[in-house]
Structure 1
Amino acid sequence: MTNQHQFLTASVIAGSLLIAGCQDKSAPADTAATSTAASSIAAAPTPADPALFISQPLVTDIYTADPSARVFNGKIYIYPSHDIETGVTTDGEGDKFDMKDYRVLSYDPATGATTDHGEALNLKDVPWASRQLWAPDAAEKDGKFFLYFPAKNKGGIFQMGVATSDSPTGPFKAEPEPIKGSFSIDPTVFKDDDGAHYMVFGGIWGGQLQRWASGSYVAEDKYPASNEPALSPKIAKLSDDMLQFSEPPKDIQILDGAGVPLLGTDTNRRFFEGAWVHKFNGKYYLSYSTGDTHFIAYAIADNLYGPYTHKGIVLTPVFGWTNHHSIVQHNDKWYLFYHDSQLSGGQTHLRNVKVTELTHNDDGTINTIDTYLD
């Protein structure tokens, strides 16, 4: 990364209030560092110079993030978060990310055109939810479309909701209650070759995964000791009607190259949030955000439930602190959808969705992507 790129990234990281949704739990070392950061970010371009990046925002009239891309009926649809300026100034558990609705986009790789299909679901129409419509995903079965999303219930605990529609663009009608046995954030739904669907989910810190270590919710953050394995993403098979889990969620273990579970202190490789699953040449790929180190890492397994072996990095840190992605194949090409904060000049909670091509090597590894131009 060039000095200019390092300056931009460092400025945003230091001045971003150090939260995420995708989110982050780091804190500045001292007040002097914070003061220096404030002056640095003021000097950064607003918005950031388009010439710095390998791709540009897909839409520019609204802020979008956490893009889950799916191919339905031969067309790419994107299910992002819809970032808004909330006026929240606290840097608690991702409080600044207080999204109120979902929009659906469609993208044509041949022309680069993106269509905004408008509001698909609003918080006020989710009976059980109180706030924070964070990163969603979508699935299709028998011509019916399902939107899966996390939100805090009336007690402030994240659970998963599901809404249905006859169209991939909605509008979606939410079920009156959350999915039984669901918790945490960042659902992604994988359809295996046999037609069964599975939800992979979880996120630590603001995503509350660390509060479920005992198997039930405890309003206290409990993280692994330095010599203990990292917290795991969860997986559960969905019921035939796609509205519930058909089994209790299970851990997905991620190992290093020697077959040892990644430790919670291995912040460059361990799972933090934003899981995604795709399949390539018969292998299962689990990719995810490392959170406070800002990588999209990936691991490979022979079985959907794992264990997975860490293999490398899909995406290096982007401009704007948080990192959240999806990987999808359309015709003969693979695409990586992700977000940064180019439009807002680096404001952590005001992001924009982007896309670039992704390539697998002959040995099954993924070519690492740097979102900055050389």
Structure 2
Amino acid sequence: MLSPSAAAAAPEPSAAVPVPGPSAAEAVPGQSTAEAGNPFVDGWYADPDTMVDDGTYWVFPTTSKPYAEQVSLDAFSSTDMVRWTKHSDVLTTADISWAEYALWAPAPIERDGKYYLYFAANDIQDDAQLGGIGVAVADRPSGPYEDAIGRPLVSQFHNGAQPIDQDVFIDDDGQAYMYYGGWGHANVVKLNPDMTSLGTFADGSTFREITPADYVEGPQMFKRDGTYYLMWSEGGWTGPDYSVSYAMSDSPTGPFRKIDKVLAQDPAVAKGSGHNSVVNVPGTDIWYIVYHRRPLSESDGNHRQLAYDRMHFNADGTIRRIRMQVKDNFADGNALGWRTYGGTWSAAGGRYRAGISRGGKALLDTDFADFTQDADITVSSGSGDAGLAFRVTRPGTGTDRYTGYYAGISPRGEVVLGRVNDSWTPLGSAPVPVAPGSTHRLRVTAVGSGIEVYVDDMAVPKISVTDSAHPSGANGLRVFGTGASFDNVTVSPAG
């Protein structure tokens, strides 16, 4: 959970070195999503929680592996939410005498110059088993963290809540709360100022149930303009119905009545989106939802990735429904989420570069039917063209080894559109002023059987055709007989 620090330590060196770029003040405010692409870090991770510490954004996720292999936690830090540094093994089961596996949902927070990391371990199924929610402590956010009390902080079921998925929140009056619970029940407890022991409520109770409608797991608490927001996950974590809902209250202990589902799978972008946290850019009313999701082509339940999108509020404080966006400006120096088929591809200098090949492709794991796709394209010398592939299925390595469409521009001054089914069928072409080495904005809008191609001037299409051979598929980039570089790729639903 978020907690500005009074005394912060610099991130320790890591194998992942950030690429120099704009300052946090330039890069973070106003982003509509992870502008450099989701996932924003490499690897299979889930259940992210966040902390902002002296201008650095921290994300602590679960390592998404089979239970027996979930024995360590990594963290990621960034000053701009674009370039992320990995900090490996900030906490492992070797550091916790009672923890064996299922190290889940780390929740970081700072208090009085100390950094506390709450975690669940052992996935206990009843009160006879050893495990539950623990707390570790360190002198800096990157760790190393040590077991603070040598035993679980919450070791049994209370009010039916499995002791997992903890989130910690410190209110403006200094009172700390922990929200937690699986198996369809949520509890809140008070934390004493030492952050390692539980307090009591005015009625003498320790565990207060706050379960809202449709709650499954993954509570998240934040406060905005004096209102308390409780978010949680619904559905099954391995299924496409995993999603995020929320409630609002004038008290940190509720009552919490469900208002709406704000994040759900998008069959064109990703599935299983859930178990979220939030980031508030300090000193602003800019908020992001940070969550995990599963790529469309992945069926393994543990193949989850970290993503974030902008979170907006209505005038009455309610949260607008969030649509997962598809963008990549390659400012992070990588091409995470892209899969290549032939050719040579590399991300550097804020661009995605392709060498000359006979039909090299780079595709996103999307499945759009009606959409608008854009990219800035710089075409080098050569007799071919470079541009956008869309509604792609059955991709393979080879000149026309795919099914779908392609629109490209060439250094000879032409824009082309064609249909592909392991062979090329021209659908249209038009002259455009293109000089080798110049950059042009290429756009394709496809709605039903109508396909329009724009170059630079988005008011009038250069090519407009009707073709219904391929109704949906992946979006991406392609080169044919020329080298090119790409930037500012976006795909969004049409309309």
TM-score range, shorter chain: 0.5 to 0.7
Q: Pick from 238, 243, 250: which aligns with 2:208? A: 250
- Report how far residue 124 of structure 1 moved: 2.1
After superposition, the Cα gap between the structure-2 partners of 1:320 and 1:157, relative to the gap in structure 1 and judged at 3 Å, is farther
Q: Does structure 1 residue 235 correspond to structure 2 residue 188? A: yes
Query: Which has the bigger relative contact order, CA under 8 A and spacing at least 6?
Result: 1
Counterpart CA distance in 2 for 1:291 and 1:168 is 32
Q: Does structure 1 residue 282 correspond to structure 2 residue 255? A: no
The amino acid that maps onto 1:75 is T
- Report how far residue 182 of structure 1 moved: 5.3
Counterpart CA distance in 1 for 2:37 and 2:243 is 18
Task: Summarize the alignment of residues 122-161 of structure 1 with structure 2, pairs less than 5 Å apart.
Answer: 122-152=92-122, 156=129, 158-161=131-134
Q: Does structure 1 residue 66 correspond to structure 2 residue 24? A: no
Counterpart CA distance in 2 for 1:344 and 1:156 is 37
Residue 150 of structure 1 contacts residue 159 of structure 1 at CA under 8 Å; is this kept in 2?
yes
Task: Summarize the alignment of residues 160-309 of structure 1 with structure 2, pairs less than 5 Å apart.
Answer: 160-175=133-148, 176-180=150-154, 183=157, 184-204=163-183, 231-247=184-200, 248-254=206-212, 262=213, 270-292=214-236, 293-309=241-257
**Farther-moved stretch of structure 1 (127-136 vs 142-151):** 127-136
Q: Does structure 1 residue 56 correspond to structure 2 residue 30? A: no
- Report how far residue 64 of structure 1 moved: 1.3
Q: Pick from 75, 80, 84: which aligns with 1:109? A: 80
Counterpart CA distance in 1 for 2:156 and 2:172 is 24
Counterpart CA distance in 2 for 1:240 and 1:357 is 33
Residue 55 of structure 1 contacts residue 371 of structure 1 at CA under 8 Å; is this kept in 2?
no
TM-score where L is the length of structure 2: 0.51
After superposition, the Cα gap between the structure-2 partners of 1:237 and 1:138, relative to the gap in structure 1 and judged at 3 Å, is same
Q: Does structure 1 residue 323 correspond to structure 2 residue 274? A: yes
Counterpart CA distance in 1 for 2:123 and 2:290 is 29
Counterpart CA distance in 2 for 1:65 and 1:344 is 17
| Cα shift readout 1:300-325 (whole Å, capped 9, x = no counterpart) | 01111110121112211263436211
**Farther-moved stretch of structure 1 (188-197 vs 99-108):** 99-108
- Report how far residue 252 of structure 1 moved: 0.9
After superposition, the Cα gap between the structure-2 partners of 1:135 and 1:165, relative to the gap in structure 1 and judged at 3 Å, is same
The amino acid that maps onto 1:325 is N
- Report how far residue 146 of structure 1 moved: 0.4
Counterpart CA distance in 1 for 2:36 and 2:247 is 25
Counterpart CA distance in 1 for 2:321 and 2:208 is 29
Structure 1 gap ranges (5+): 1-52, 87-95, 205-230, 255-261, 263-269
Counterpart CA distance in 2 for 1:299 and 1:134 is 24
Q: State the aligned residue count.
A: 270
Q: Does structure 1 residue 310 correspond to structure 2 residue 280? A: no
| Cα shift readout 1:28-77 (whole Å, capped 9, x = no counterpart) | xxxxxxxxxxxxxxxxxxxxxxxxx99411212x2211110111223210
SS at 1:124 equivalent: helix
Residue 39 (structure 1) aligns with: none
Counterpart CA distance in 2 for 1:316 and 1:253 is 20
Counterpart CA distance in 2 for 1:123 and 1:343 is 32
Structure number, greater radius of gyration = 2
SS at 1:314 equivalent: strand
- Report how far residue 283 of structure 1 moved: 0.7
**Farther-moved stretch of structure 1 (173-182 vs 287-296):** 173-182
The amino acid that maps onto 1:109 is D
Counterpart CA distance in 2 for 1:347 and 1:54 is 25
**Farther-moved stretch of structure 1 (235-244 vs 342-351):** 342-351
The amino acid that maps onto 2:264 is T
Structure having the larger proportion of residues in helix: 1
SS at 2:84 equivalent: strand
Counterpart CA distance in 2 for 1:119 and 1:313 is 34
Q: Percent identity?
A: 31
After superposition, the Cα gap between the structure-2 partners of 1:336 and 1:54, relative to the gap in structure 1 and judged at 3 Å, is farther
Counterpart CA distance in 1 for 2:319 and 2:123 is 38
Residue 160 of structure 1 contacts residue 182 of structure 1 at CA under 8 Å; is this kept in 2?
no
- Report how far residue 107 of structure 1 moved: 2.8
The amino acid that maps onto 1:167 is R
Task: Summarize the alignment of residues 92-103 of structure 1 with structure 2, pairs less than 5 Å apart.
Answer: 96=67, 98-103=69-74
